[in-house]
Homo-oligomer: A and B are copies of this chain.
Amino acid sequence: MKQPLTLHPDRLFPAEPQTRAVARKLYEQVKDLPIISPHGHVPPVWIADDIPFKNATDLLLTPDHYVNRILHGQGVDLADLGVPVGRTDFTEEQAREAWRIFSSHYELFRGTPMKYWMEMELVDIFGIDQRPSAENADEIYDTINAKLATDAFKPRALLDQFNISFLATTDDPLDDLEHHATLAADDSVATTIVPTFRPDKYLEAGRDGWNDLIDALGEKSGENTDTFAGWVAAMENRRQFFKSMGAVSSDHAHMDLGTQPLPADEAEAVYARARRGEASAQETDALRRTFMFEMARMASEDGLVMTLHPAVARNHHQATFDRFGADVGGDIPVAFETVESLRPMLNAFGTNPNFRVILFGQDETVYSREVGPLAGFYPSVYVGPPWWFIDAPDAIMRWRSSVTEYGTFYKTTGFVDDTRAFMSIPARHDLARRIDSAYLANLVVQHRLEIDEAEDLATQFVVDLPKKAFNLEV
């Protein structure tokens, strides 16, 4: 039953031999280039404090809802995988048992990017040479844990090994960014690590706890957040702080992309009602869209790039949310619209050379219908990479195919891993580099691109475009 585990050098490349040869050539050119990760969710404390990883389950299973959800979808109890993250009652024996559960269901990952990431991690990082199975679960678990106990597997050592030149984290506007300060002050950290401004919950006046957040925002910023104008000033203040700490972008996820601002006096009135807890759902939505317009206005002034990724029904299954909290796999995308929603923002700032917005999305229908045309016309609009569930070989191919013909090669951002799964970062970037090489190779063999053009693009995708899209100086 023991199956070897190897990484084929031609994996993800097209089968047709001429095309494969071109893909291989393009990939060779970019495979060892440093990783730029301008949008992700690795906790900065891991690196600042160089906290060792605990065990294979704690590292690779418990926090990874991509992996968890597949097992849950076949009836595995998330609690048996250690969910939620940070549980103190999850014993070492339970962690080992979780790895056994994962290993004995390994066939469920066939056809998924999770399999690609996991296998690259197992082989390249941990030197595993067998496919996970019920039989070898303990053996692999022990091998991984033994390595994790060594210095070479602490976050900072891995950061070097992974050749990550730039890493952005995601942070609360009220965060003091102490870990970023630590890292910036430490010359031994070669990677540039910067925060990202993620203000979503401060814009959602219809949610529980908003008023307390706004009180705290006022306190932290020294602005009076009893008025809409005060909210704006407080946000400007916090953005400036983030900018001073190296932030290059802000990150925004709401149910729609609306940016229609209320007239100034109405904004103040609705804000006041919201602070008193008296605003209707319609009013808090209108207020959120007004806040978004203000965010765009600030971005056009301070130059933080906006990343927008709307329209996910979070925590779809209430009982799972009640038991485990957020981010455990119950988030389901829904359809969304960009053209009318973004019109107010783009009419105000769309041709402003200091403004930039990157559109992600899980609703693939908007790519060819809306995002390609918008990015083709507006200098400020960039096509975000296939995000979240669709960060996968076929989906990336569909995405490239949907937007490229609008002339958007140079309006894409390079790959964004968007992950908290630190170990998977090299694998995710490797997957993207391979698929991009395959995509370009297809164009070359169909004589839609010359080879020199493809070679130039392959490097642009990895080096130049992330720098351009996110205003990086690395």
Contacts from A to B (Cβ < 8 Å): 3, 8, 10-16, 18-19, 69-70, 72-75, 107-116, 131, 313, 316-320, 329-335, 337, 339-340, 343, 346-347, 350-351, 353, 362-365, 368-370, 372-379, 381, 389-390, 392-395, 398, 401-402, 404-411, 442-443, 445-450, 452-453, 456-457
Report yes or no: B351 in contact with A362, Cβ–Cβ below 8 A.
no
CB-CB nearest 6 A-B residue pairs? A392-B405, A8-B447, A11-B447, A15-B445, A70-B407, A111-B404
Report yes or no: A373 in contact with B447, Cβ–Cβ below 8 A.
no
Q: What residues on B are CB-neighbors of A372 within 8 Å?
A: 389
Question: How near does chain B come to A471, taking the closest CB pair, in angstroms?
Answer: 14
Smallest Cβ-Cβ distance to A111: which chain B residue: B404
Q: A74 contacts which of B108, B337, B410 (Cβ < 8 Å)?
A: B410
- Bound-state CA distance A364–B366 (Å) is 10
Question: How near does chain B come to A107, taking the closest CB pair, in angstroms?
Answer: 7
Q: A351 contacts which of B108, B317, B331 (Cβ < 8 Å)?
A: B317
Q: What residues on B are CB-neighbors of A329 within 8 Å?
A: 376-377
Report yes or no: A377 in contact with B72, Cβ–Cβ below 8 A.
yes
Report yes or no: B376 in contact with A70, Cβ–Cβ below 8 A.
yes
Report yes or no: B316 in contact with A379, Cβ–Cβ below 8 A.
no
Q: A15 contacts which of B18, B330, B373, B402 (Cβ < 8 Å)?
A: B18
Report yes or no: B375 in contact with A364, Cβ–Cβ below 8 A.
no
Report yes or no: B393 in contact with A112, Cβ–Cβ below 8 A.
no
Q: What residues on B are CB-neighbors of A340 within 8 Å?
A: 313, 334
Known contacts A3-B452, A347-B318, A379-B75; A457/B110 CB under 8 A: yes
Report yes or no: B379 in contact with A74, Cβ–Cβ below 8 A.
yes
Interface centre among A115, A329, A389, A456 (most CB of B within 10 A): A389
- Bound-state CA distance A402–B363 (Å) is 12
- Bound-state CA distance A379–B68 (Å) is 12
Known contacts A111-B407, A374-B332; A347/B319 CB under 8 A: yes
Report yes or no: A394 in contact with B404, Cβ–Cβ below 8 A.
yes
Report yes or no: B377 in contact with A334, Cβ–Cβ below 8 A.
no
Known contacts A340-B334, A376-B70, A405-B393; A10/B447 CB under 8 A: yes
Q: What are 23 A-B interface contacts by the 8 Å CB criterion?
A: A12-B447, A15-B445, A73-B378, A74-B379, A108-B407, A110-B409, A111-B404, A111-B443, A113-B405, A116-B448, A313-B340, A317-B346, A317-B347, A331-B373, A333-B370, A334-B339, A334-B369, A373-B389, A390-B405, A393-B446, A393-B448, A394-B401, A395-B405
- Bound-state CA distance A12–B13 (Å) is 20
Q: What residues on B are CB-neighbors of A394 within 8 Å?
A: 401-402, 404-405
- Bound-state CA distance A288–B454 (Å) is 49
Q: What residues on B are CB-neighbors of A362 within 8 Å?
A: 368-369
- Bound-state CA distance A113–B273 (Å) is 53
Report yes or no: A335 in contact with B332, Cβ–Cβ below 8 A.
no
Q: What residues on B are CB-neighbors of A334 within 8 Å?
A: 337, 339-340, 369-370
- Bound-state CA distance A256–B286 (Å) is 26
- Bound-state CA distance A18–B15 (Å) is 7
Question: How near does chain B come to A362, taking the closest CB pair, in angstroms?
Answer: 6
Report yes or no: B353 in contact with A75, Cβ–Cβ below 8 A.
yes
Report yes or no: A335 in contact with B73, Cβ–Cβ below 8 A.
no
Report yes or no: B446 in contact with A14, Cβ–Cβ below 8 A.
yes
Report yes or no: B111 in contact with A320, Cβ–Cβ below 8 A.
no
